Amino acid sequence: MVCETTRRSCGVLIVVAAAAVAMLAALSCGVGPANAGGGVNGNAGRQKRQLKAGSGGGSSSGCSNLNLYEGSWVYDQAYPPYDSSSCPFIGKEFDCLKFGRPDRRYLQYRWQPGGGCNLPRFEGEKFLRRMEGKKMMFVGDSLSMNQYESLLCLLHAAVSNSNITRQSQPYLSTATFQDYGVSIMLFTSHYLVDIEEQEIGRVLKLHSISDATSRLWRQMDFLVFNTWAWWYRTGPEKGWDYVQDGETISEDMDRMLAFKRALTTWAKWVEANVNAAKTTVFFQGASPSHYNGTEWGKPGLRDCSHETDPVLPPDASNLAVGGAVSLALQAQQDAIKSIHHPILFLNITGLSHLRKDGHPSSHSGLARLDCTHWCIAGVPDAWNQLLYTTILDQPFTHAPFF
């Protein structure tokens, strides 16, 4: 059962970060397998299990960090991994079936890495058992929301009778699986750096991550960062009025340069603030959009409308990520390489580039064509399977996770 107090929002202002920290402190006092809080506890008699480092099945046989992201999409009649109509966590932006998408094939493609790699099946209850008492936070833009809601659906499908509570305030959403003491969070920060309300308007501060935000992030056991999709937006969708680079405040600047400046600030924050013995940091690669058919071998198309299948072999082997997304991916990798702490890079760009069929298009609760975000169920489930697999394969010393 899901008990919730929730709302949606976009952008991030540093004035709300302190309130988010206070909310998290209150949440921490009431989270744990022995303190289920409100709502119906579907597993009140669950026996706690002592976990050992390295225990559990589901190894990603034959996989390595080099080949997880190289492969193809294969049709699998056992997919999707859950019924989206039964998931209470999907927002109107991503609920394609609810808003009239007529085809179903896009739901039944599974990511298959090459080189004899077999990804383990996502086992939601095992994930929760091994995450007992921990907090995972997605930090980023609306693509982070995409992945966050997908993960909640995957977990809900496995433990639908569990006591799940939801709390939400501007820029921070939390779902807590009370029977396991596991909190999955979304902190909305489109640019990872601060936006500050000043007399002149909203100022994007490329060299600033506030103390309140920093305190919040440092409390996490797992952080999954993402930023890219909002950096080139203009007009009403632009999340700021001015941009500050050092001491210079201007109405605009080269967006790729601004993006790189923000990534440098984020990298310095990780270097200075993350205790690698406590917190595992992931960074998710840029998620591609599909508004130019030339990029997937169909010159003349200007959006993803009517696309019902991925790019499949042999065509997939000739398809490369290009343009600004390629530059963004390189900038992200450069920022990660500058950090001495181990950062786990979820390189989902190329495999997502093949999924021209996976977007809401006109089938969402928004009055616009969307070839940027992804349907749920759909492509973000593969991102989370790769996140799950990466966690399985890590020799964590700070927690007996898998």
Catalytically active residues are 142, 370, 373
CB 222 within 8 A of CB 280: yes
The 10 Å CB-count burial string (b at 16+, else e) for 313-335 is eeebeeeebeebbeebbebbbeb
Q: How far is the C-alpha of 73 from the C-alpha of 112, rounded, in Å?
A: 6
Distances (CA, A) of 14 to 18, 137, 211, 221: 8, 18, 9, 22
Q: How far is the C-alpha of 51 from the C-alpha of 258, rounded, in Å?
A: 45
Helix H or strand E segment including 342? none
Which residue's entry shows tokens 């929760």? 128
Question: How many C-beta neighbours within 10 Å does residue 219 have?
Answer: 15
Question: How many C-beta neighbours within 10 Å does residue 208 have?
Answer: 17
Q: What's the gap between Cα 217 and its chain centre? A: 15
**What is the residue type of 302?**
R
For 253, the token pair is: 């600047």
For 245, the token pair is: 């680079």
Cα pseudo-dihedral 384, 387, 391, 392, rounded to 10: 60
CB 166 within 8 A of CB 47: no
| Three-state secondary-structure class, residue 301 | coil
